[in-house]
Structure 1
């Protein structure tokens, strides 16, 4: 009863509103804390009683070093401006974004900017807001797509709070980060931005805080040539600034020995030294920006300020300090606008020879226009640039000059530097965003033909209703397309049939008289969004797919949901209708003489002998029979029972199985099946043939995100109700020196069962048992425990077992290094299903080991690792 009352309050939109408000509130508070903290530290740094020649360099060195140390030790992802990291997270790249990153970003930015580094706080507020939103999405679990919407709302709120510009926050997310105009995304971003900006304005003060009237902002025909010049200069110098950022990053990479604290400390020291001789360099962005916009300085000082700010910002950003380029870009643009205003005034006055035209725009107009133009050239978001400056000044007269300057600057900069600056920054880190998005978003280009069922059950329009009732009773479908002379003429559903039978008309009417005529259809090339729109808008459960009047398939909600579930679980191998049960093409049975059965899937005649060799050794040790299977995969458009299978191509595998049966004395069964999906087919065989253990080969490393090893292997690791052994054969298939890493779990029992058979593959096997401890977490397993495990193995195997405790922060690297040290031939890895799934997030240990070493790797999943489906 309570749940029903709460359901209206817990609708998706209402929850989204609450979450957006929370994100905006928290992001606004974080932005206010950062702003006031930087102002306090800047005031303390510049008004100290100590000599400036001592204070500024010392604080720059110490504060920068502490900022870098905080990032290096606690959250390396918090380095830089933070916007590239947010964009990568929104593009499905695996970059941490959480509360830890947000807090470290806040602290490191406070230290860096408070130390005098020439960077801004608005870029970090974007990452802080996004990180807080990402953490909220973990506390309140939701779908991956909705999590992206929450992160984008947090980013918008962070930027809105940083600039007191809510509209600009939304536009930046739409223009640069997410590029999503859906209602829920826009609504969440708008609400979060509004709340964040309100909190920032109430608690942190106004933005630019200039008391301007319409007389200060004006535009005349005399200004147009110089606004064009300003746009050209902003575009060229903005492009140079972008190139300088990349050059500075490359330059600082040469000083790896300094570490991040040393690089940032060095940048702080240089900034402090420059600030001693040029006080304008020691001013924070807000003060310098207001100083320039008011036009109270001479052009010589402004030119010096521009050059110094330009170089110091490149220096600070290249060092890896936490801070953004938004505010420095605005300051540089203001300085450039002031210089252009001086040029215009000098030109029209003949450099003092005659009066300046009365309608010439003020220096403030040029400064504000330069802010938007330079910002647009650097970031590549002209609309956001215009709106940011407009929202900070709230003066409509400024819109036209901003459009002229920002538009020209953007076109010039894009001509010189093609592509997003944030994409290029990510590329320098090895993250190529666009391929990642496409690889992880398989729905982007799907069409109806990709998901539709091609084999459709249909009815004839001339059938009687009693025959239609029988058709429904024999089928699980709730609707049928109706054909007449091969053309689609209608569709009949259970509700249509129910109305006719309720009126007692079923004895007199034909199907053509009660069906729904002219049904809604889609073409094979209809996009998936179009299909979903029709299904939702018309409240339908299925749509016929037609090519003209010819029925070519049908697509249902179930087909879409099933494909999405398969994709999320990692089991999707082919888009299309549901896979049918496999079909047994050939089954060669042997006498049932073993105490269990070991299933060996065989696919390649070249690798099958090695796999069968290992399987036979295990089967001898366990007294099992061998069940060999070859699965012929057929398209889903063809029923497995109707598929043509070339048994001649399978003959080498059958003969190989027969030879092992004759030479080993084992009972060997062999079968061939036609199937849509190999993984599901193997699960069918495990159930039908009462399989106790599965041995599979693993030949090619798989780098697909979300996979442990590969599609078929992962399916069995997650779902098989029996023990699973996966073998990645090494370059030299020898079995004399064995390495068994363990974490103290049930590995020993499984090793005791399998090793007696496996050791027969070697001549004089040598066994090393090891465990790995993290150096900062203490000793994770005492020698007594590992000795107990070694004693149990020695008693079972009747041979010595050597033990070793390793210390390393990387489990995989420790195993690889120790295997190389001991010249191991085989690594036997035991892991639970739960641990394997966690490896997808924390690092794929089996894959990392297999890619780093050429020896044989055997991965074991115990029977006890299968989780209860109800949990």
Structure 2
């Protein structure tokens, strides 16, 4: 017996315990490989070519005593152009599906391709994304990590001979474990695996294996790079009187999150429609982002170090080589980061949108925190909580993943005490962004996913009750004559009819073939003991009864009394109405949002 056959023979929990451990090892090793590949590219491009220093977050060996330098500052656009050229060459030559933010591609594979990911996407995505980010491109490392782990999970499922359903689960687990590992957020990553596939639903089957995989991946990754949360540990106290201010932040974050989504896909569409070589588009995007970086180098790469400096109010280190005042720069940075990310990734570059989303939210929160500090200095002595809640509320709403992002940023900052305010802010942001998402491959619910189409098509008949059907008053009494019964069946184009007693009690069914040429009362020819349904029975049960009785109707009986008959045509009409109602639900929910 092969390994795959042995796995398939195991009960669900045991099978996914083993697979979860394997996927966790994959997530840990792929995250480490990608992490150090980015560092190598940063050394080549930013350190060696540009002579530039960029801040590191506390959880990655960074320090709050940071001094910005860029010996060859003018080469920043050159670095990003070269990065875009190399990325475009790799992607469009070997694996075009590796363009853009990898998480969305992995989500698409789950819904539309039975979890299939081509093996060549894995090395292409790794190298192209490392070059894009390492050269200064405004992108995150979580998307590529998600696609790497999901891709290897897909390959592993094929090698083990797993079913398409298990391959899809392996892809979803890979997404959550990969992101949870590289962010050092195992709990949030496990929940993300279930939440990120939908805008208003959860893939609950993947939570159990994701918990295992994220724990294993985090252990491997942390053993090498350390277990300190990326942004250190926030030690400030929670003040419930600030809750209205967090609500305001959630409202603004939702609006800016909507801008992030709309601008990203607007620029992506513009690049795709442009009559240019696909190899040239990432070069143009890199040049545009590079010019923005000349004004504000903070927009380069992931920006984690700048977020940390902002959180600890080291505003003097947030620099601009130009003469732009620091207050103006702080106000501009969320929008400059949006534009730089749109150009880097929307042009066809390779990288994630999660980290840029956190940067945008952090600096938006910092801006509002400064405003609140000047208005209410006693209530808001520090901007740090608004920086953290800004990250959560903006990307939680923009990604339609409020629960997992809430947990992830809490893990990244050690800010458990801020949860009440963060929950309010992300809930409001989620409402403001409506049915829009930065992940275009998300579907509203499991019902709309092609991965679950058969499941819902089979079960829909089981959800519709006989009470939802029109009941017709078709019957004959046991003492009626055969001639009268044949007349009623002929007039209604029936081959059978229910027979009742004088009190309305159901006796059985009389068949036309048994009555032709006969005389006397119908009751003598009724077939007794036939199955019936009640008002609470499902159409699926009614269909089975019709198959047994060889009729196109079913007797509806309650307490032994015949209430009427449900015709096949009426059942089809009830099915059609229910299908139309379900189809309208996503549209109505979107309008309500």
> Are 2:539 and 1:525 equivalent residues in the alignment?
yes
Judged with a 3 Å threshold, the aligned counterparts in structure 2 of structure 1 residues 237 and 449 are, in CA distance, closer, same or farther, namely closer
Alignment correspondent of 1:306: 334
CA contact (8 A) 1:93 1:436 kept: no
The equivalent of 2:440 in structure 1 is: 423
> Which residue of the other structure, out of 257, 260, 265, is the alignment partner of 1:238?
257
Partner of 2:67: none
Give 1:434 shift. Answer: 3.4
Aligned to 1:407: 427
**Alpha carbons 1:112, 1:322 under 8 Å: kept:** yes
Separation (CA, whole Å) in 2 of partners of 1:202 and 1:387:
22
Relative contact order higher in (CA < 8 Å, ≥ 6 apart): 2
Superposition pairs for residues 175-574 of structure 1, below 5 Å?
Answer: 175-177=195-197, 184-206=205-227, 208-214=229-235, 216-221=236-241, 223-259=242-278, 261-282=279-300, 284-297=302-315, 298-348=326-376, 356-357=377-378, 359-360=379-380, 362-414=382-434, 418-423=435-440, 434=448, 436-437=450-451, 441=455, 443-447=457-461, 523-525=537-539, 548=557
Which position in structure 1 is the counterpart of 2:15?
Answer: 15
Shift of 1:22: 0.9
More strand by share: 1
Distance 1:130 1:361, change over 3 A: farther
Q: What SS does the aligned partner of 1:177 have?
A: coil
Please give the per-residue CA displacement for 1:343-399, whole angstroms capped at 9, x wherever unaligned.
011113xxxxxxx31x53521111001111111232122112211111112332110
Q: C-alpha distance in 1, partners of 2:415/2:232?
A: 11
Structure 2: distance between partners of 1:217 and 1:330: 22
Task: Supply the distance in 1 between the matched residues of 2:442 and 2:2 (Cα, whole angstroms).
Answer: 51
* Gap change, CA 1:181 and 1:231, over 3 Å in 2: closer
Check 1:47–1:91 CA distance in 2 against 1; reply closer, same or farther (3 A cut). closer
**TM-score when normalising by structure 2:** 0.68
Deviation at 1:449, TM superposition (A): 11
- Kept after mapping to 1: 8 A contact 2:153/2:171: yes
In structure 1, the partner of 2:46 is: 46
Q: Within 2, Cα distance between the matches of 1:56 and 1:365?
A: 32
Partner of 1:164: 184
* CA pair 548-163 structure 1, distance change in 2 beyond 3 A: farther
Equivalence map 1:440-839=2 (5 Å) = 441=455, 443-447=457-461, 523-525=537-539, 548=557
CA shift, 1:104, in A, is 1.6
Q: Is the 8 A contact 2:140 2:301 kept in 1?
A: no
Cα deviations by residue, 1:278-304 (Å, 9 ceiling, x for unpaired): 332346422122122222215333223
Q: For residues 18 and 143 of structure 2, what CA distance do their matches in structure 1 show?
A: 25
How far residue 435 of structure 1 moved from its aligned partner, in angstroms, is: 7.1
Task: Give ranges in structure 2 of 5+ residues lacking alignment.
Answer: 51-70, 316-325, 465-505, 509-535, 545-553, 561-593
Give the helix-richer structure, 1 or 2. Answer: 2
Kept in 2, the 8 Å contact 1:67–1:321? The answer is yes
Instruction: Work out which of the residue numbers 110, 121, 129 in structure 1 matches 2:149.
Output: 129
Shift of 1:217: 4.1
When residues 249 and 182 of structure 1 are mapped into structure 2, their CA distance, relative to the original with a 3 A threshold, is: closer
Q: Is the 8 A contact 2:132 2:351 kept in 1?
A: yes
2:257, 2:392 → 1: CA distance? 11
Distance in 2 between residues matched to 1:111 and 1:413, nearest whole Å:
32
| Per-residue deviation, 1:243 | 0.8
Change in Cα spacing, 1:444 to 1:88, as seen in structure 2 (3 Å) is farther
SS at match of 1:324: coil
In structure 2, C-alpha distance between the alignment counterparts of 1:448 and 1:229, rounded to whole Å:
45
For structure 1, which runs of at least 5 residues remain unmatched after alignment? 349-355, 428-432, 451-484, 488-521, 532-544, 551-871
The 1:331/1:449 distance shift into structure 2, 3 A limit, reads: closer
Q: What secondary structure, in the 3-state scheme, does the structure 2 residue paired with 1:422 have?
A: coil
Identify if the C-alpha distance between structure 1 residues 435 and 172 changes in structure 2 by more than 3 Å, giving closer, same or farther.
Answer: closer
Structure 2 distance, partners of 1:14, 1:325, is: 35
The range that moved more, 91-100 or 336-345, is 91-100
Q: Deviation per CA, 1:588-647, whole angstroms, max 9, x where unpaired?
A: xxxxxxxxxxxxxxxxxxxxxxxxxxxxxxxxxxxxxxxxxxxxxxxxxxxxxxxxxxxx
Rounded to whole Å, the distance in 2 between the matches of 1:130 and 1:268 is: 27
Of the two, which has the highest radius of gyration?
Answer: 1
Alpha-carbon distance change, 172 to 25 in structure 1, aligned in 2, over 3 angstroms:
same
Rate the CA distance shift 1:290–1:40 in 2: closer, same or farther, 3 A. farther
CA distance in structure 1 between the aligned counterparts of 2:287 and 2:108, rounded to whole angstroms: 32
Between Structure 1 and Structure 2, how many residues are aligned?
A: 459
Give the Cα–Cα distance (whole angstroms) in 2 for the partners of residues 390 and 2 of structure 1: 43
In 1, are the aligned partners of 2:302 and 2:356 still within 8 Å (CA)? no
CA contact (8 A) 1:46 1:52 kept: no
Answer yes or no: is 1:97 the counterpart of 2:129. Answer: no
Deviation at 1:442, TM superposition (A): 5.8
